Structure 1
Amino acid sequence: MFRIPRARVLASVLAGAALSAGQPLAALAAAPTAEFAVSPAQMQALDVTVRKLDQPAAIAGLASPARVVLPPNQDVMVSAPVDGVIDRLLVNPQDVVKTGQPLLRMASPAYGELQLKLMEADSRAKLARQASDREKQLFAEGIIPERRVQEAQAAQSGSDAAVRQAQAALRLAGADVAAVRRAAASGKLDDTLTVRARSDGLVVSLDAKLGQRVKEADPLLRIANLRELWLEVQVAPGVTVPRGGEITVVGREVTAVALSVGALVGDAQTQTLRARVMRGADQLRPGEVVQARVPFAAGAGWSLPLAAVTYQDDKAYVFVRSAKGFVATPVTVLSSAGQAVQVRGALQSGQEVAVSSVIALKSAWLGKGGGE
């Protein structure tokens, strides 16, 4: 079945509209110029609609899957400081904790050994200090040579260093300053150790179980500081994100800004775009999968429907409304996403651009009734 091209039908309608408006048909067959006449009656007959330009802006791209993640310095793994048995759990998953808050308690002979080492080192340091004071006094009385004073001072320095090392080992195990001082002064051993939070955050996982025997450095729980979140968006290879372009999360009042795009392409033939959440972080949770819209193109342009752009001799044009009719204005297509396109050209805010029946306007512009 023979079908008449739609462009030819629309051009015929345009010609009919011109005759009904009292304009000669020869006007439609004139050589193509940048500006051509189209009356309001012709626009109505062809159902030509226009859109007023507002401000240049980036186009939000198609929705892409994104995972909510924590920056590397915001995710804290709490591990067992010493060998022991989990004696008591003091928090639950999803609990919000503060710095210094008790998380769990361990029964640990190894913790007692650390206290014993501190007591022994402190006792040796006291003896070394007394010996050094005595040697100084004997040297002052001329009884012993200075060499013995120097040897006593060296022994005292070594003993003091051993005390500091034992104190550091206890602090690393989770003992606070008061507990360290108490262990050295009282001479009593405490076989239970309370593990405390070292930063504010949310307990995102709890691996420890009551009665579980753990080794030093075994993972116990994870605490996430939610003051900063990232999005890892899976985008098509080669996508260029505008500098400072705003990434939005579908269905939520969440915005983020791009940080970097990974250099590697994954098995799903996508690249990972990392973005820092700037607003709405309280609406997200680490590990959650959302849909994010990433703006395309390297800079801001005029956002128009895809149907508003036509091509002639490999050049893109849009039709801008003028007092006489329309002006065929060349543009550069920056990007497209779905039914939207972003262009750059000699356009100004407030101008009206044809967004429908563009093919009929093109036929009138070129002065022919054939197809594209």
Structure 2
Amino acid sequence: MRRLPLSLPALALAAGLLVAGCGDGAPPETDADPVGQPPSLQRASGPAVVTLSDVQAAELSVETAEVQASGATVEVGMPGVAEPSPDDFAAVSAPVSGRVVRVLAHEGEAVRRGQTVAVLQSMETASLSASARQASAEAAQAEAGVAQAQAEVALQRQQVERYTQLVAERISPRMRLDQARADLGRAQAQLRAAQAAVAAAQARVTGSRDQLAAAGGGGRGGTVAVVAPRGGVIDRHTVDLGGSVMAYDEMMTIVGQGEVMVRGQATPDQAARVRAGDGVSVRSASDPGVAVASRVASVAPAASSSDRSVAVYVRVPAGRGIRPGQSVRLSVVARAEAGGVSVPLAAVSYDGDRATVFVQTGPRAFEQRPVELGAPGEEAVPVLSGLAVGDRVAVTNVFDLKALARFEAYGEE
């Protein structure tokens, strides 16, 4: 391999002259050779080795790092977004169809469970209220009938007792006693019928009241109070004052002040390394100084059909600076493959779609070696093939080494 004693400025000038020289004149005629890549992009038949001159070595001062075993874990980085926790989120729905006549809680305001947040006016509720009132009136009337029937039974029982004594003393004929007993039987039957009417009326009252309660109760003019199903902060409104809603329509949402669910977006290769229970650091994208330590709650079983990412879910406690809607960055401490090695991200460059590193083979010699990479972490990337523990790779001025390697391959054409 030829050593290049050129300094960096001379190298740039020589490269420019060679490119200019290749651009002048007519191209040589060929019979059947196809047009290939420029010589600077063609791969050499053997490994590309850059040997620096004393001047180049002094100017570049290339720093190297030793290839390390991956160890038990590897750091996997991915973007993400914070969302309300499913356990800390609730929708406020309309209990009945109606018109919004009052809005008592607005976006950003805190509410407690059971607090009235809106009022509806509903014809359905007005009808239910009327039914409840009618059922109550019928129940009262039935109860009055029971009281009257009980008084009649008491009267007829006295008549039976009186005629029983008169018949025993031979003062009154037996037919009068039989008549009194028949009247008592009819009074008792009327009492049972009145008691059954009371039970039926009370059942109607209970049913009407249950329906009215399910519809949110009833005020004057058929108004219905809409209450918060949980405490928290109003996140958004979906209705306006004077607007109409159908039963079970969403009116607003409430976000609690508890934990936040972070959804990371991992590549399929990254997701294959991540497991539930892995440690993770969550950082705010806008303020990297805000970092929260947690653990992976779950990993989606399949990739999204829209962007092919795999969701990684992390629960973050409240009050740690991570709020729903924020963009975040996740660093998952995942288990590494046994026997693997890793290099700093700064050591990797790309020749087309081929990842390469510059391995130091001598005091001033570097071999450009293709490698197969795994899922990158925040600062390092696993190397699946091409390197061994103990190799030293360039981690500074890698672009300059790449330019020298191309120039050397170009000069040999």
Q: For the structure 1 residues 301 and 138, does the alpha-carbon distance in structure 2 shift closer, same or farther, using more than 3 Å as the test? A: farther
CA contact (8 A) 1:75 1:224 kept: yes
Q: For 1:124, what is the secondary structure of its paired residue?
A: helix
Corresponding residue number in structure 1 for 2:207: 165
Corresponding residue number in structure 2 for 1:217: 248
Q: Offset at 1:120?
A: 1.0
Q: Offset at 1:167?
A: 1.6
Q: Offset at 1:51?
A: 12
Where do 5+ consecutive residues of structure 1 fail to align? 11-45, 184-188, 308-332, 344-352, 359-372
Match of 2:291 among 246, 253, 258: 253
Q: Offset at 1:169?
A: 2.1
Q: Deviations over 1:322-365 (max 9, x none)?
A: xxxxxxxxxxx99862543689xxxxxxxxx979569xxxxxxx
Corresponding residue number in structure 2 for 1:84: 98
Q: Offset at 1:294?
A: 2.5
Hey, what's the Cα distance between the residues in 1 that align with 2:246 and 2:335? 53
Hey, what's the Cα distance between the residues in 2 that align with 1:124 and 1:114? 15
Corresponding residue number in structure 2 for 1:368: none
CA contact (8 A) 2:235 2:253 kept: yes
Q: For the structure 1 residues 258 and 157, does the alpha-carbon distance in structure 2 shift closer, same or farther, using more than 3 Å as the test? A: farther
CA contact (8 A) 2:81 2:263 kept: yes
Hey, what's the Cα distance between the residues in 2 that align with 1:139 and 1:101? 52
Q: For the structure 1 residues 69 and 148, does the alpha-carbon distance in structure 2 shift closer, same or farther, using more than 3 Å as the test? A: farther
Hey, what's the Cα distance between the residues in 2 that align with 1:161 and 1:257? 54
Q: Deviations over 1:32-71 (max 9, x none)?
A: xxxxxxxxxxxxxx98888999xx874331232x232234
Q: Offset at 1:159?
A: 1.9
Hey, what's the Cα distance between the residues in 2 that align with 1:301 and 1:202? 50
Hey, what's the Cα distance between the residues in 2 that align with 1:52 and 1:272? 30
RMSD over equivalenced CA pairs, Å: 4.3
Match of 1:121 among 135, 141, 157: 135
CA contact (8 A) 2:343 2:381 kept: yes
Hey, what's the Cα distance between the residues in 2 that align with 1:161 and 1:298? 68
Where do 5+ consecutive residues of structure 2 fail to align? 5-46, 53-61, 158-180, 346-372, 384-388, 395-413
1:144 paired with 2:203, answer: no
Q: For the structure 1 residues 57 and 123, does the alpha-carbon distance in structure 2 shift closer, same or farther, using more than 3 Å as the test? A: farther
Q: For 2:317, what is the secondary structure of its paired residue?
A: strand
What is the TM-score of this pair, normalised by structure 1?
Answer: 0.60
Q: For the structure 1 residues 112 and 95, does the alpha-carbon distance in structure 2 shift closer, same or farther, using more than 3 Å as the test? A: same
Q: For 2:200, what is the secondary structure of its paired residue?
A: helix
Q: Offset at 1:126?
A: 1.9
Alignment of 1:16-95 (within 5 A): 58-64=73-79, 66-95=80-109
Corresponding residue number in structure 1 for 2:237: 206
Alignment of 1:267-278 (within 5 A): 267-278=306-317
CA contact (8 A) 2:131 2:208 kept: yes
Hey, what's the Cα distance between the residues in 2 that align with 1:299 and 1:155? 79
Hey, what's the Cα distance between the residues in 2 that align with 1:283 and 1:69? 10
CA contact (8 A) 1:201 1:224 kept: yes
Q: For 2:198, what is the secondary structure of its paired residue?
A: helix
Corresponding residue number in structure 2 for 1:21: none
Larger radius of gyration: 2
Corresponding residue number in structure 1 for 2:59: none
> Number of matched residues?
279
1:340 paired with 2:380, answer: yes
Hey, what's the Cα distance between the residues in 1 that align with 2:234 and 2:213? 23
Hey, what's the Cα distance between the residues in 1 that align with 2:103 and 2:310? 41
Q: For the structure 1 residues 305 and 154, does the alpha-carbon distance in structure 2 shift closer, same or farther, using more than 3 Å as the test? A: farther
Identity, % of aligned positions = 23
